[in-house]
Every structure is written in C-alpha cells, then in structure tokens.
Structure 1
C-alpha cells in the first residue's frame, strides 16, 4: 500500500540519484546528457521507471495527440521532469502538474541540473490532492 511516507522516501531516493549525477557531471551540460545519466543511476539503484513515453490525453472519449512526453515516471507514482535551465519558470510547474494530473500521479519533482546544488536550489517537489488523500 502506498502512503505519504513511502512516497516521500521514494522522493528522497530520486533526489539522491540526481545529486549523484550532478556530483559527477556538474552543471553546464544539455538536459539530454543528464537524462541518460539519470536513467543509468536509476538502474544502478534498481528503481523501476518509464522514460520519455508519450502521455495519453483523452477528450470526450477520443485520444488526442498533444505530444506530451514525460521524462521519467517512477514506480507508476512519481513524475520527474528534468531541466538544464537558468531558472525554473511557472511554465515548468504547469508542465509537471499537467503530467501529474493526466497520469494520476500524486507527486512530482522538477530537477534543474543547471544549479550549484541540487538539494538546496535545484529541485522542487509538487503534490496534488491524490497525495493529500494518501494515508500518512
């Protein structure tokens, strides 16, 4: 059974993986490089995930091709969007919240590898009502 506590622990593990990648690579590379290295780090840590898959979108019973691509979907519970940008913008939050809603994910993490410190400034965690309704 998934709980807020278990999802928080998974979040901690994912941020730890991002810190490890950042520790080795530093900042200044393209997002695609960090993405490939995150995939390797998740494999090393034996964390189940899907990468860069098309997010389904349905409108009035019809599949609509909106070309949404989720960077990482961890354990079918947690969305991870990777960035290598100067600043996280509101549009990045909106992207993450959209994927969380469409995939019924209670939690999401934005990770910006173009930061000096992933833990302090390079990540942002968002939750929705699904998370709030999970047992503690």
Structure 2
C-alpha cells in the first residue's frame, strides 16, 4: 500500500465534501456532515478516525481530552467541520491550534452551511512540504 501525500488526501476530502453538498445542500447539523463525510471517505478506501482526542500539556498539567478533532484522514489530514452561517476567525485559529498540538501538517476547515461548497473550504498548513516537481515528473523535457 502506497502512502498518500497530504495534498492527495486533501483532494479526496474536498471531492467527497462536494459530493455530499451537491446531494444535500446546506442546513444540516455538523454531526450529520461528519457521519456522511467519513462514510464517503471510507468508500474511497481511506482510513478515517472521527472525534479524535487531542491531549495537551500545559505547565506540567496534562489534559487527556483537551480537544477533539472532528476527523483525521489517513493519519495525516485534520478536518474541522462546521455548519454555521458565518465562519469566525476563531474557527480558523482552532484548526491551526489542532495542527500545532497534533503535529499534523495539513488541515481543512469545511463549512457546509454555504450556497457553494467551494466557498466553504479553507486549507491550513503547519510546515507542509510540497512534493517536488522532479519527483512528480520522472522524465521532464529540458528547457534548454
């Protein structure tokens, strides 16, 4: 089994979110979108964890269940789901905090309560290295 890069996982998550939004639209509870998205991703053969506890350490105090990440896909990409009228800056910062605390490099904030899902998806990175063009193309012609 080959390891998928975070960007490949992200593409599949966005595709699944689009499929769900196309079929059902906005207005459902966040928990419904979580169940449906995890279902769609598993159908694609991806490993999906839901409501993943994120322990944290502060000043010698360990909180075992300090936070809960909505979805973690392929042990690589954190998905934070919302179904709200307006995303606030704190929602974006929440995902960045989850990435920092978990050590994951890529996250998607997805708000399903929008007319067009494309406007509800936000990509957040935490030190993600993009795959090099040379590894993606084995025999690129020279520009000489």
Higher relative contact order at CA 8 Å, sep ≥6: structure 1 or structure 2? 1
Separation (CA, whole Å) in 2 of partners of 1:66 and 1:18: 27
Q: Which residue of 2 aligns with 1:50?
A: 49
What runs of 5+ residues in structure 2 fail to find an aligned partner?
Answer: 133-144
What runs of 5+ residues in structure 1 fail to find an aligned partner?
Answer: none
Q: Matched residue pairs, number?
A: 131
Q: Deviations over 1:17-61 (max 9, x none)?
A: 111111111111111111111111111111112110211112355
CA offset at residue 84 of structure 1?
0.3
User: Which has the larger displacement, 85-94 or 63-72?
Assistant: 63-72
Q: CA RMSD in A?
A: 1.9
Higher strand share: 2
Q: Which has the larger radius of gyration?
A: 2
TM-score (norm 2): 0.82
